[in-house]
Structure 1
Amino acid sequence: MQNRLEKFRTKLAGMQLDTALITKRENYMYLSGFTGTSANLVITPNKAYLLTDFRYAEQSSKQAPLFEIIQHKQDMNETIMELINSENIRAIGFEDQSVSYSEYEVLAGKLKGTELKGIGPVVDEMRSIKDEQEIEIIAKAVKIADDALMQVLPLIKPGITELDVAAELEYRMKKLGAAGPSFETIVASGLRSSMPHGVASQKKLELGDTITMDFGALYNHYCSDITRTVFLGQPDKRLLDIYNIVLEAQLAAEKGAVRGRTGREVDKIARDIIYGKGFEGKFGHGLGHSLGLEIHENPRLSVGGHKVLENNMAVTVEPGIYVEGLGGVRIEDTIIIRDQTPQILTQAPKEIIIL
């Protein structure tokens, strides 16, 4: 935490600022260690304050020992104003990309005489490079999802619903140590599998169905993300062909996801294979995204992903093909960017599975 604070202060100095107000939950967690749901940080060149309420007084003092804990009044902005006035602060950076306009108006009204300057995604960008402890936690979240899938596959049979499958996945993840799912579980079967984000429904599984499961575990506040597509009974041969194309694209893009390439360049590896097989327009989303304290972080592996990948970024690689009236296939792993050989965290099998 000390290293993170000092790095953040250095970045602030580069923006001609020495003080910042941090309000986004994932960012105050990252800089302080405090995991409660209500807090603001005020960070100056020499001091670090954590403002929270009575509910979190004890928790914050234990989790954020580098911060002076202040229990705020009923209106947190009043306490922020008093603190800024006591420190004689004339300009303060704020997270303009996560503060709503109405919140900004209230804050500006309270801090008359103090200039508010947006700092953009500076903390989010710091978070994009994971340290080894973060990678270990994400790897555990990935393993929980892997293990949950392997426990649920034998339970999949005709007559149960997509919601049944989702409930089993989420139950197994919790039994394996997850706090819960890292996002709303997607289970899309049969013709519904052509919908990339077809969240679980009351549809009953039938023989011949394609079943796409996209889910993740939340472990120690970090997310994992996995997609596997399986078949219940013998599927349409066209779907088997699509599966093999998606797998080819996924493996190639995964191998090419190395330090120094842009997200756009990695996306192109998979897109060229899929489009070259005659499925242009059937892979309409980006190849992947970063993840960590949030399920969707930057940088992105997509057509618009111009940021250069760096070591220790955690990203997903998830190409898919979706054909309305037939079905769809997506395969997704969570990986860590390395110099030449990405570290593949997801270990669930990717060969065709017919249940």
Structure 2
Amino acid sequence: MINRINAVRKLLNKAALDAIVVINPGNRLYLSGFTGTSGILFIDARRAILLTDFRYREQAAAQAPDYEIITFTGLFTEKLLEFITPSKSYRLACEGDYITYKQFIAIKESLQDITVHPVNEFVEALRLVKDNTEINKIGRAVKIADDAFANILPLIKPGVSEIELALELEFFMRRAGAEKAAFTFIVASGTRSSMPHGVASEKLIKPGELLTMDFGAVYQGYHSDITRTVLIGTSTAKQSEIYRIVLEAQIAALAAVRSGIKASEVDKAARDIIASYGYGENFGHSTGHGLGLNIHENPRLAAKDETILLPGMVVTIEPGIYIPDWGGVRIEDTVVVEENGCQILTRSPKMNLMEIF
């Protein structure tokens, strides 16, 4: 972790800041390796300190060997004053895009003789590009989700509820080594599949319905994200057409991913195809997003995101078409940006609308 600590120090120096307090759990894990639920990092030019409580003293020492471990009770700001010399010229950064306004005011009032400076996406900027260890963990999370999809296919049949399928997906992934589900699973059938975030309900699956499943696993802190749409029975011409359009858009977006391209250009590659078939208004979300220690990270593959993609960024590609009172189709893979393209981590089949009998 020492390289990551030093990277933070370089950012602090560049921004003319003296130190930073890190509260965001994802950033705390990234910078320290500490997985406990109670912990605050303090990093300046000389020291890297992990403040925690008595419960996590031994765990913190084992997981964060590059940090001084200090246990405390009460307000953490009182502890900070033990190793910060109060001065109006002292600039302490806090995560303005994570803490609430109430928390910020509390910190500022507790440290009245110190300038508290909110920063946005400070540590997150370091997390944009994943190293090989991170990519391997994401790959393992993707593999667990792929295996869960293969396991669930024989269980999809008329009369089974959406929530039963969601539970089986989660049970399988936990048995396969996942720490937890990556998010609340979307399992939406029939007309409910027109809802991009139609979480699993008690609805029973019926013959002739589209079924969209969006799920993922967490492995050693890192997330995966996959969406597949299948059909119960034999597809109609329109169902096959919509699926073919979404697949064409997804393949085009995958082909657009490479180092040096803007995130918005990947979005455009998918969006232009869907619009060309007259379904532009039925594709209302971004084409994808970054992921890692959080299920949604930067960059956003959206029309207004001008982020330049770099090798090692991990993003999803997930265009969709959603038609009210009819249904919807989404196809999603997780990929790693490379110099001249991308590595597709997701292996579950998608080339045809899978008909489940």
Match of 1:263 in 2: 263
How far did residue 83 of structure 1 move? Answer: 3.0
Residue 309 of structure 1 corresponds to: 309
Aligned residue identity for 2:142:
V
1:302-326 CA deviation, whole Å, 9 max, x = no partner?
A: 1121111111000000000011121
How many residue pairs match? The answer is: 355
In structure 1, what is the equivalent of residue 246 of structure 2? 246
Return the offset for 1:228. 0.1
Amino acid at match of 2:232: L
**2:125 matches 1:125:** yes
Letter of the structure 2 residue corresponding to residue 229 of structure 1: T
Deviation (angstroms), 1:122: 1.4
Q: Deviations over 1:267-298 (max 9, x none)?
A: 00000100001112010000000000000001
Which residue in 2 is equivalent to 1:82? 82
Deviation at 1:87, TM superposition (A): 11
Match for residue 103 of structure 1? 103
1:110 Cα offset (Å): 1.0
Contact 2:141 2:224 in 1 (8 A): yes
Deviations 1:207-256 (A, max 9, x none): 00100000000110110000000000013320110001100110110111
Contact 2:34/2:64 (CA < 8 Å) preserved in 1? yes
Instruction: Classify the secondary structure of the residue corresponding to 2:81.
Output: helix
In the alignment, the residues of structure 2 paired with residue 105 and residue 81 of structure 1 have an alpha-carbon distance, to the nearest angstrom, of 17
**Alpha-carbon shift at residue 89 of structure 1 (Å):** 8.3
Q: CA deviation at 1:156?
A: 0.7
| Structure 2 unaligned regions, length at least 5 | none
Note if 1:346 corresponds to 2:346: yes
Q: Distance in 2 between matches of 1:195 and 1:237?
A: 21
**Shift in Å, 1:117:** 1.3
Corresponding residue for 1:321?
Answer: 321
Partner SS, residue 83 of structure 1: coil
Tell me by how many angstroms 1:205 deviates.
Answer: 0.4
SS at match of 2:341: coil
Give the corresponding residue for 1:35: 35
Structure 1 residue aligned with 2:69: 69
**Structure 1 residues 10-65: Cα deviation after superposition (integer angstroms, max 9, x where no partner):** 11100011311111111111111111111111111111100000111000000000
> Which residue number in structure 1 is paired with residue 193 of structure 2?
193
Q: Distance in 1 between matches of 2:143 and 2:198?
A: 24
Q: Equivalents in 2 of 1:258, 1:61: separation in Å? A: 40
Give the TM-score of the pair, scaled to structure 2.
0.97
d(CA) in 2 for partners of 1:45 and 1:55?
Answer: 28
Secondary structure of 1:281's aligned partner:
helix
Deviation at residue 159 of structure 1 after TM alignment:
0.3
Could you say if the C-alpha distance between residues 38 and 264 of structure 1 is closer, same or farther in structure 2, counting changes exceeding 3 Å? Answer: same
Contact 2:259 2:338 in 1 (8 A): yes
Equivalent pair of 2:194/2:323 in contact (CA under 8 Å): yes
- Deviation of 1:76 (Å): 2.2
* Displacement after TM superposition at 1:119 (Å): 2.5
Equivalent residue, structure 1, for 2:292: 292
1:10 alignment partner, SS class: helix
Partner of 2:53: 53
Aligned partner of residue 286 in structure 1, secondary structure:
coil
Identity of aligned residues (%): 46
Deviation, structure 1 residue 118: 2.0
Using the TM superposition, give the Cα deviation of residue 86 of structure 1 relative to its aligned residue in structure 2, in angstroms: 8.5
Report the RMSD for the aligned CA atoms in angstroms: 1.3
Q: Which amino acid aligns with 1:353?
A: M
Contact 2:182 2:223 in 1 (8 A): yes
CA distance, structure 2, for counterparts of residue 266 and residue 278 of structure 1: 19
Q: Kindly provide the amino acid, as one letter, of the partner of residue 355 in structure 2.
A: I
Give distance in 1, aligned partners of 2:45 and 2:119. 16
